[in-house]
Amino acid sequence: MADDYVETTFVALKPDAVKRGIVGDIIATIENAGFKISGMKMVQATDQLLEQHYEEHVDKPFYEGLAEYMKQGPIVALAIEGVHAVENLRKIVGDTSAKDAHPSTIRGRFAHMSMDHADESGTHYKNIIHASATLEEAKKELGIWFSDEELHDYRHAHEDEVM
């Protein structure tokens, strides 16, 4: 059945994306690719929320800096629906290392910092966006950032064309 391929994934537009005023451009890129927003909100991350989201990293040396970066401003949390949404959104987002991201990806268009530069300048690496890596991760992250009432099911105007 065609619905077996339709997934919902989690995307976070990080504080640097919000501060730079590129949220609309990023959302337009996602929507222009045929994906549907089934949930969206602006959130100021708390320690508790970040500890849930980054559970596997809490005890790692870089976690404190990561948490501080994610609390520097609001985050736009998105639930994105579409065919093979997890895999395809990761392709659209681009390589985690912005300097290695293809110019047509979100990170390739909007991020420029390298991990080496961040390390040498004593700042946290900023790459503007997070997208779940697996369907299991997406389900977990959606549950952390959204309640069931905040996710919406509706028919997109062009679903017959892209889904």
Q: Report the catalytic residues.
A: 130
Distance of CA 27 to the CA centre of its chain: 10
Using CA atoms, how far residue 4 sits from 1, 7, 84, 101, in Å, is 6, 8, 9, 30
Distance of alpha carbon 69 from alpha carbon 61, whole angstroms: 14
Helix runs in the chain, H state only: 15-20, 23-32, 47-53, 63-70, 85-93, 106-110, 115-121, 135-145, 159-162
Alpha carbons 8 and 83: distance in angstroms, whole number: 9
Distance, CA of 143 to CA of 20 (rounded, Å): 27
Side chain identity at residue 32, one-letter code? N
